[in-house]
Structure 1
Amino acid sequence: MSLFSVIIPVYNRAQLIDNTLQSVFQQSFRDYEIIVVDDGSTDNSRDVLQTYAGRIVVLSQPNSGPGAARNLGVQRAQGKYLAFLDSDDLWFPWTLETYRKVILEKGEPSFITGKQYVFSSAASLSGVDNKGPLRVEEFPDYLASGDEWRWFGVSSFVIRRDVFSKNGGFDGGNVNGEDADLALRLGCADGFVHVCSPAMFGYLEHEGNITSDLKKNIEASERLIARERKGIFPGGAERAMERYSIICRHIRPCVLSAFSSGYTKDAVRLFLGTFKWNWKLRRFKFLVGALGMMIGRGVRR
């Protein structure tokens, strides 16, 4: 059994997947398997993947979204830990070796995340290195980590496979926000560690980023609110404030973006849906600012 199963969902990324795979092949730590799931691509992504026959496992499904694709990959996985990487992002040569060190030194935590390095061209990656000391933040679990941003998409995630399976995996719909949803469902799993330094993956900014779709982000925020109200996330009443802190951290930027982009009714709905939580968290500056935007724009179509 490998220490890591690397799970990569692919949808119409024929021009990018080569670079992503090469970044995995260049890892200094070699005890891993690579599982790539083609999520119904309509370009020649599948042809590109076939050129790596024997080095990767390729699975296919009708287009169902990245969450479902990752879940399919996990079904085939044999590694103790699942290391997720999106098909437009890159790892650095030290990424898996650093995660291995964290796993050994921190007692096999359930959930590990890594710091991102945002880039828009390969040239900007030349200055990234791992010469400084390893710096991490360690918490009893994810809910205890507070409302500071500590991860940046699913390429940040390394999850012990038994914990992932116990908590049901990713939302299988073709949606945004499946990363935040899973992180919250992992909220009480023993051991959460965030790697602050070095940077652990390169996040490519481009027009195809799924997180650039504001309407889908609004829908993802609504799902977080609904699932919290239904009691889906763990921790019970005694840990409600920790969940509110994390959920509202995700939703506040979406509220402001929705107001700014003219999605006024959506913004108002999210604002009202989280008003009590933000009030309890004493996020008065946000509440006053959002209320001012609401009054200034008026509720219109």
Structure 2
Amino acid sequence: MAGYGVVIPAFNAAATIGAALNSVLAQAAKAEAIVVVDDGSTDDTAAVIDAMNLPVTVLRQDNAGPGSATTRGIAVLSTPLIATLDADDLWLPDKIEQQLAYLGRHPGTAGVFTHWRTFRGDSPDLPDAASGAGWSRTTMMIRQEVVQSVGPIIDPPGGRGEMIDWIARVREAGFLLAMLDDVLALRRIRPGSLSYGRDPARDRGYIQVARLAMQRRAQNKAGSS
């Protein structure tokens, strides 16, 4: 199996980063490298990681957004495959193993995602939690050459929608993405997180992502006519 590295962007994640890292370390298929990018946290995120004494590289930067932090983390990896995880979320133990197996069977597939289940607070095992297809950073495993070809993950205004935009760019570049049917990751919803509730200021990012997608389609259409 090809080797993989992990990137976790983290902002004020002291309450959750330990569980996220433990879910990475619990994988049946072990990572060659784990990189946490502290995106200008003002809490004890860095101290929590240091106290765990784990084989983790921690990079620190001024707050620039999760896309910027993810891109910076990817830049220091040389592994053929890259898996990413939000600092609020968790992987189930066989997530990576199943993704590696899928990519091994499908060499023409650029990346593979999984279904995920949502939970609130510290209760990830609620049986009635909602689940669905996780086109997200937390479920993504992508080939290194795809990242190099498509370019950085760009943070839109408000800090939401960067992965929607980047995944769209991957598809527009002609790369094939797959979705596994199994729930292999858990998405934590908590007050203060970027994914918590509706927020007009943060939701501006989705509008910008849609506008950029339309602009790219218009440019591609003009270029092919």
TM-score by length of 1: 0.65
User: Does residue 20 of structure 2 align to residue 35 of structure 1?
Assistant: no
The equivalent residue for 2:60 is 60
The equivalent residue for 1:297 is none
The equivalent residue for 2:167 is 183
Q: Label 1:191 to 1:225 Cα distance change in 2 as closer, same or farther (>3 A).
A: closer
> Where does 1:100-249 land on structure 2 (aligned, <5 Å)?
100-107=100-107, 109-125=109-125, 150-172=133-155, 175-187=159-171, 188-197=173-182, 199-211=183-195, 212-231=197-216, 236-237=220-221
| Preserved CA contact (<8 Å) 2:116 2:133 | no
- Structure 1 regions of 5+ residues with no counterpart? 129-148, 239-301
Task: In structure 2, give the amino acid aligned to 1:161.
Answer: Q
| Preserved CA contact (<8 Å) 1:74 1:82 | yes
How far the C-alpha of 1:87 sits from its partner, in A, is 0.4
| Preserved CA contact (<8 Å) 1:227 1:233 | no
Cα RMSD between the aligned structures? 2.6
Q: Could you give the per-residue CA deviations for residues 189-234 of structure 1, whole angstroms, max 9, x where no partner exists?
A: 332110111x111101211220235224531232123213322699
Structure of higher RCO (CA pairs closer than 8 Å, 6+ residues apart):
2
TM-score by length of 2: 0.86
Percent identity of paired positions between Structure 1 and Structure 2 = 22
How far the C-alpha of 1:172 sits from its partner, in A, is 4.2
Q: Label 1:53 to 1:101 Cα distance change in 2 as closer, same or farther (>3 A).
A: same
Q: Could you give the per-residue CA deviations for residues 122-173 of structure 1, whole angstroms, max 9, x where no partner exists?
A: 5542769xxxxxxxxxxxxxxxxxxxx7424321222111111211120045
- Structure 2 regions of 5+ residues with no counterpart? none
Distance (Å, rounded) in 2 between the aligned partners of 1:155 and 1:124:
15
| Preserved CA contact (<8 Å) 1:71 1:172 | no
Runs of 4+ in structure 1 displaced over 6 angstroms?
none
| Preserved CA contact (<8 Å) 2:160 2:206 | no
The equivalent residue for 1:24 is 24
Distance (Å, rounded) in 1 between the aligned partners of 2:39 and 2:89:
17
